[in-house]
Amino acid sequence: MNVEMHPSRWGDPARARALPDEARGLVEMVFGTDDRPAVQAPPLAPPSIGPAVLAELEKAVGADHVRTDDEARRLRTRGKSTPDLLRARSGDLADAPDAVVRPGSHDEVAAVLAIAVEHHLAVVPFGGGTSVTGGLVARREGFSGVLSLDLVRMKRLVRVDHVSMTAVLEPGLRGPEAEALLAAEGVTLGHYPQSWEYASIGGFAATRSSGQSSSGYGRFDALVVGLTVATPRGRIDLGSAPASAAGPDLRQLFLGSEGTFGVITAVTVRVRRLPEVKVYEGWRWPSFAAGALAMRTLAQSGLQPTVLRLSDEAESAINLADPAAIGGDASAGCLMIAGYEGDPAAVEARRAAVTAVLAGLGGTGVGTEPGERWAHGRFDAPYLRDSMLDAGVLVETLETATFWSDVERLYAEVKAALTAALGDPSLVLCHISHVYETGCSLYFTVAAREADDPLAQWAKAKAAASDAMIAAGATITHHHAVGTDHKPWFAREIGPLGVSVLRAVKADLDPTGILNPGVLIP
């Protein structure tokens, strides 16, 4: 797999595809189309870091691993949110780093941080570059330059403990690379976010990522047993036992810290035995509320399948993961996918128990075909977003989470805010894909005819949705993290004292503020 993504599109350019004719016809009918060719990116301004400092960096990591060429810098400019793509498509590379530095070990990371402190360079840890919240857009003002600290060389499976069922992974491993190394040991991590093909182990930890199989395997932060972090003040190793009462859990300070407190250089994760069987099947519900009630019943009975997701009526009708399926029947209710992974006996037992609950609550089993189709297309939607953007249709996603008692209200209020802000013609789709005993996440996908200024159009819709989330007492993000985009709402979510605690930790670990300035901390 090519781990370098296209600078203004998702993923492997070879997998890009135009909208199929039937989908394009429908998109034209709903939105009208207006092909938007990408602008040829202009050459970048020369890097602001001088030869003497570059020579120090080369000494620290090797001359081959310090790059200042346009291509390297362009490929590490921002992440992959729709605004990021729109800016890249318009040739705006204002956030490009001055240099890309690729350390090969914890000690090399520490050496780069020391140089950055000495010369007051901003440092942006770069894992897979799939951030959708501006997590890679550090503030440049006040710094003598910006370094992208690309962890791509740190790709080792350091060790597997088959007795304790843990593994130590380096941060630069992409999802498929980590799973391939673990599979050779007969184990799996089971973390499959939609960005899995490109996102990295360090990025998963730094953003508290959640994968599509979170019901069965757990969120990434729940899989982390230990962390090693390089900070400007030195090294910290955390997680010396499966559980501990030794004070507050400092691992939680670094999980979700988005490169602002330190650079994660190793992650110890719990692993499971490779599943022998994987079964994904579909269930039909008369309404989103009926399906959500079934999810809550399962979660509160301790009966979760490995994968459990439910699309609302609109998303069930317009299956974004499968362009060929666009234009389904909205009156057909809501589609749930339930997936089971494990050894055959455990899968059968759990499937039978879940089936009894779902059937008892009025669900209709529709067989494995929808489940297999979902599993097959689960990583394709980002390519479809590119095709829609090509056709002048703005597509973006956002997500939140709340307690069960507030789910219905949150769903209605965020949907209303998005619909009002985007106007006609627009579509607002939603699914639940991460379920807990106490609540769940809501994941919205929107599509709208691109306005003349699509960045302003999206900023308005995003602000309206974010205001609705905070007003409803929900979180600003269940798994996309804070980055720069969510900061104002994050500050409202945690309050002034929460902000003050984060600033104090930052001031202690990173006294000169070089690590991802402007990201996360309000």
Ligand X SMILES: Cc1cc2nc3c(=O)[nH]c(=O)nc-3n(C[C@H](O)[C@H](O)[C@H](O)COP(=O)(O)OP(=O)(O)OC[C@H]3O[C@@H](n4cnc5c(N)ncnc54)[C@H](O)[C@@H]3O)c2cc1C
Q: Catalytic site residues?
A: 443
Applying CB under 6 A, which part among 22-30, 91-99, 124-132, 301-309 lies near ligand X?
A: 124-132
> What contacts 51, CB < 8 A, 6 or more positions away?
none
Instruction: Using the minimum distance from each CB to ligand X, give the nearer residue, 33 or 260.
Output: 260
Given the structure tokens 């403990």, which residue do they identify?
161
Q: Which of 6, 11, 21 is nearest to 324 (CA)?
A: 21
Given the complex with ligand X, which of 320 and 468 has the nearer CB atom? Answer: 320
The conformation of residue 40, written as its DSSP 8-state character, comes to P
124 near ligand X (CB under 6 A) = yes
Q: For the chain, how many residues are written?
A: 522
Smallest separation (angstroms) from ligand X to the CB of 479: 4
193 touches ligand X (CB under 6 A): yes
| Shortest distance, position 423 Cβ to ligand X, whole Å | 25
b/e string for 304-319 if b means 16 or more Cβ within 10 A? bbbbbbbbbbbbbbbb
Do 485 and 397 meet the contact criterion of CB atoms below 8 Å apart?
no
Structural contact between residues 457 and 393, judged by C-beta atoms closer than 8 angstroms: no
Cβ nearer to ligand X, comparing 215 with 516: 516
| Total residues at interface with ligand X (CB under 6 A) | 38
Confirm or reject binding of residue 128 to ligand X (CB under 6 A).
yes
Total H helices, total E strands in the chain: 18, 18
Quote the CA–CA distance of 415 and 407 in Å, as a whole number.
12
User: Which of the residues 160 through 179 are near ligand X (CB under 6 A)?
Assistant: 171
Q: Nearer to ligand X by C-beta: 204 or 411?
A: 204
Per-residue tokens: 356: 């009894």
Q: How far is the CB of 210 from ligand X (least distance, A)?
A: 5
Among 57, 85, 136, 167, binds ligand X (CB under 6 A): 136
Under rule CB under 6 A, residue 135 binds ligand X: yes
Minimum CB separation of residue 125 from ligand X in Å reads 4
Question: What character string, x for contact with ligand X (CB under 6 A) and - otherwise, covers 201-220?
Answer: -xxx-xx-xx----------
Tokens for 91, please give them.
């040739």
CB of 197 to ligand X, least distance (A): 9
Closer CB to ligand X, 256 or 275, in the complex: 256
Contact residue for ligand X among 195, 231, 316, 400 (CB under 6 A): 195
**Does residue number 487 form part of the binding site for ligand X (CB under 6 A)?**
no
Is residue 132 within 8 A of residue 79, CB to CB? The reply is: yes
Peptide bond into 425 cis (omega under 30): yes
- CB 249 to ligand X: min, Å: 18
Smaller CB separation from ligand X, 312 or 386: 386
481 binds ligand X (CB under 6 A): yes
Q: Which residue is nearest to ligand X (CB)?
A: 203
Q: Which of residues 58-117 bind ligand X (CB under 6 A)?
A: 79-80
The whole-angstrom separation of Cα 322 and Cα 316 is 11
| Cα Rg of the chain (Å, integer) | 23
> Taking contact as CB under 6 A, which single stretch among the options 121-129, 363-371, 462-470, 499-507 is the one that binds ligand X?
121-129
Applying CB under 6 A, does 306 fall inside the site for ligand X? Answer: no
The token pair at 318 is 């317009």
Q: By rule CB under 6 A, what string of x and - marks binding of each residue 261-300 to ligand X?
A: --xx------------------------------------
Other Cβ atoms closer than 10 A to 249: 13
The residues with which 339 forms a beta bridge, in sequence order, are 280, 307
- In terms of CB distance, is 203 or 370 closer to ligand X? 203
Q: What is the distance between the alpha carbons of residues 414 and 131, in angstroms, rounded to a whole number?
A: 22
Binding to ligand X, residues 421-460 (CB under 6 A): none
- ∠ at Cα 135 (71, 145), nearest 5°? 55
Q: How far apart are CA 304 and CA 64, in angstroms?
A: 48
CB 476 within 8 A of CB 400: yes
* Interacting residue ranges for ligand X, rule: CB under 6 A: 10, 79-80, 124-132, 135-136, 151, 171, 193-195, 199-200, 202-204, 206-207, 209-210, 258-259, 263-264, 382, 479-481, 516, 519
